[in-house]
Structure formats: structure tokens, C-alpha cells
Amino acid sequence: MGDELNVTYITLSGYVELSKYRYLYFFIIFTAYILIISCNSTVMYLIWIHKNLHEPMYIFIAALLLNSVLYSTSVYPKLLIDLLSEKQIISYSACLFQFHLFYSLAGSEFLLLAAMAYDRYVSICKPLQYAAIMRKTTVCISVGSAWIVPACHIAVPAILSAETKLCNFTFKAVFCNNSIYKLQCVISRVITVYGIVVLLDLVVVPSLFIIFTYTKIFIISFRSCGEVRKKAVETCLPHLLVLISFTCLIAYDVSIARVDSNFPQTARFIMTLQVVLYHPLLNPLIYGLKMKEIFKHLKRLFCPAKII
């Protein structure tokens, strides 16, 4: 029975001096989580209540912000519980579930950004065909696929890992990320190969599509009038900033599982938290401040006295 418990539960040992900084960590994480929910929900609410924002571009932005909230929720509640607990443990099945949610929603981010890139391409490069191409059905299918496809992709390694024998029960992280494979006695070749396929399908291909699409947009817009160039910069720059930010963080997260175990724990702890701290807060700031129509409604919401 004790052996079964050892197999079932693993220890999260990625914290740095938790006994000393427990309440400081809790305050920072709790504040960040409240800000993430508040900021993303505010922009989503504005898109929902204002009819002039019921366009494909803003619907994709709302979906992206909802994805940020779900992405954070897959990690933050467990983090907060662990920070106040004497032992930082999690069952292996719960760990795999968190792993599945975390990477499914990360994949959704790239697919939503790819859908947004295509929307901008049609809007700027094929304006006369925009209404016919970007119909409500197209938008719904794009958003639905962005959540369903990654969930199906990540389900395979999660299910395969559930059947894998564990030889290590101490996890050098604060939540169940890509390093989960280091718990296994032998990393399955099938999981490794399939992981490369997932990386290509959910990260590399969407990123290349986004880069190709925006290259076409900028080539066409800079050959056009100043108004088209201005529209291209205003609407495409926020998407590119989000893509660069998230790609850098995911690149770290994917590579950390391949890094030697002597990688400094403090550096690992800081970078791991940045993956779930920095980006979900960046999204509403970029879209709230850089998208003119959303920013206009934000000013009306928070500074009503200044609006005549």
C-alpha cells in the first residue's frame, strides 16, 4: 500500500526558501492572479457589450484573453494552495491533468494568433472579400478548433505517460510542466517522437504561418497608401508583440526539460513563474492600450467625467 502511495504522489520541490518567503510568494501570486482575471475580464466585457466591437478581429482578441484566464487558472489555484501547505505534493494523475490543460491552452494561444493573422491578412489584402470570407461560421470554427485541436494533441502524451513507470518522485518545478518526463524511468520513444509532432503542429507551423502572413501584409501595405500602412501597423503590431513574447517563454519551457539538473534552482524558479506570470498580464495591456477602439472604450469606462 505504501508503495502504491509512492507511485501515486510526487513532491514539487521547485520553490526557493519557501519557509522563509511563503507569505511574500503568496501575496505576489495572489495579486498577479487577481490582476490577470480583472484585466482580461475587463477587456472581454467591453468587447461583449459594445456592438462596434462585434467583429472577427475583436472576437479573436476576446477568445485570446479568455484563453489567458484559463491558462492561468490551470496553474495559479494549485500554486496558492501549495504556498500555504506544509507539503507541496500532487497526485500523478492530477499532475498529468494539469500538464494537459497547461499545454493544450498554450497550443490554443498559437492557433488563435494564427487565426488573427489570417483575419488581418484578409482585412488588409482582400478588403472587398472580407465579409464573404470571415463569416460568423468561419470565426466560430476557427475559435472552436483552436481549443479542440490542441486538447486532442496533448491528450495522447498525457494518456501514454499515465501508463509509464516512475522512478523519481521529486519534481524540480512548482507545477506540472514539460519536466514531468524526468520522473519516468525510461522516456518512451513514442512520446518523444509524438512530442516533436505536437511541437511542429501547435507551435512551429502556426508561427511560420503568422510570419508568412504578416510578411505578405507588410509588403502589400507598404506598396499602398499611408492609410493602409497605418491600419496594418495599428492592428498587426500588437499581435506580433504577443507572438514574440509567448514564443520566447514557450521556448524556455520546452528546453528546460532538456537542460541538465544542475541548472540553478533560483533561475529555474524565476523563469518558470515568468511563463505563467508575464504573458497573461501582457495580453490585456497590449490589446487594451494598442487597439484604438478598445482603448477608447477603456477611457470611457474609467474616466467617464472626461467624456463629453
Q: What is the pLDDT of residue 70?
A: 94
Give the tens place of pLDDT for each residue, 107-165.
999 999 999 989 988 988 888 898 889 999 999 999 999 999 999 999 999 998 888 88
d(CA 134, CA 59): 12
Q: What is the pLDDT of residue 71?
A: 92
What is the span of the domain harbouring residue 267? 2-306
Summary mean pLDDT of the chain: 84
- Would you say residue 306 has pLDDT above 60? no
Q: What is the pLDDT of residue 4?
A: 47
d(CA 179, CA 299): 43
Question: Are the CB atoms for 211 and 220 separated by under 8 Å?
Answer: no
Q: Which residues of 58-79 are buried (b: 16+ CB within 10 A; e: fewer)?
A: bbbbbbbbbbbbbbbbbbbebb
Please state the pTM of the whole predicted model.
0.88
Question: Are the CB atoms for 183 and 10 separated by under 8 Å?
Answer: yes
Least Cα distance to 273 among 67, 75, 34 occurs for 75
Residue 302 contacts by C-beta under 8 Å, 6 or more apart in sequence? none
Q: pLDDT higher for 264 or 181?
A: 181
Query: What value does the mean pLDDT take over residues 205-209?
Result: 92
Domain count within the chain:
1
Dmax (CA) of the chain? 74
Q: What is the pLDDT of residue 38?
A: 92
CATH number at residue 273: 1.20.1070.10
Give 2's pLDDT tier (boundaries 50, 70, 90).
Answer: very low
